[in-house]
């Protein structure tokens, strides 16, 4: 180090200084500027990528929120459809029960009407048979009663007496 101080020369120092400044200027123009430009480009690219990533993240969150909303709507719609189907099923069952009850009531009424008409027909037939039997019995009784003339005259007088009394 002492040797450097002892052998110091202003001319050499001047040329070294000129070369150093020239080197710095050359490096600044041809190396630092392109390096700094490349670093700035890279930095802006990284910033853009970070912004894009942030935007993509926000968009992804929005899509997830939309998906959740659509899923909730789909579930609600499914529940509504199931409720409507249950209501429809219950209504169909109630309608079928009401129709079956109505049909059964009609059949019972028809059966009762049929029974009543058959009962009336049977009673009418029975009355007809009883009347026929009564007429036959009365005919036989009257024949035996009216077989002789004295009994006939007595019967006619009795009947005329009853008629005039009534």
pLDDT at 105: 94
Query: For 37-61, how does the pLDDT look when each residue is reduced to its tens digit (9 = 90+)?
Result: 889 999 999 999 999 999 999 999 9
List the domain range (segments joined by +) for residue 85: 19-165
pLDDT at 163: 67
pLDDT at 149: 74
Mean pLDDT by 10 residues, the chain (166 residues): 73 91 88 84 94 95 94 95 96 94 94 94 89 80 71 76 63
pLDDT at 106: 95
Neighbouring C-beta atoms of residue 155, cutoff 10 Å: 13
pLDDT at 166: 45
Please state the domain count of the chain.
Answer: 1
pLDDT at 146: 65
Q: Residue 120: inside a domain, yes or no?
A: yes
3-state secondary structure 52-105: HHHHHHHHHHHHHHHHHHHHHHHHHHHHHHHHHHHHHHHHHHHHHHHHHHHHHH
Q: Residue 10: inside a domain, yes or no?
A: no
What's the pTM? 0.40
Q: Residue 7: inside a domain, yes or no?
A: no
pLDDT at 89: 95
């Amino acid at each position: 180090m002492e040797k450097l101080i002892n052998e110091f020369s202003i001319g050499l120092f001047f040329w070294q200084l000129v070369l150093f400044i020239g080197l710095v200027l050359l490096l600044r123009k041809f190396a630092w500027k392109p390096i700094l430009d490349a670093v700035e480009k890279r930095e802006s690219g990284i910033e853009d990528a970070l912004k894009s990533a942030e935007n993509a993240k926000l968009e992804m969150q929005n899509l997830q929120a939309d998906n959740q909303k659509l899923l909730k709507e789909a579930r609600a719609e499914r529940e509504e459809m199931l409720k409507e189907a249950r209501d429809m099923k219950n209504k169909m069952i109630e309608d079928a029960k009401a129709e079956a009850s109505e049909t059964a009531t009609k059949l019972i009424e028809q059966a009762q009407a049929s029974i009543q008409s058959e009962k009336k027909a049977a009673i009418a037939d029975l009355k007809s048979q009883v009347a026929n039997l009564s007429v036959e019995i009365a005919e036989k009784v009257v024949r035996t009663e009216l077989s002789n003339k004295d009994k006939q005259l007595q019967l006619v007088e009795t009947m005329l007496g009853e008629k005039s009394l009534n």
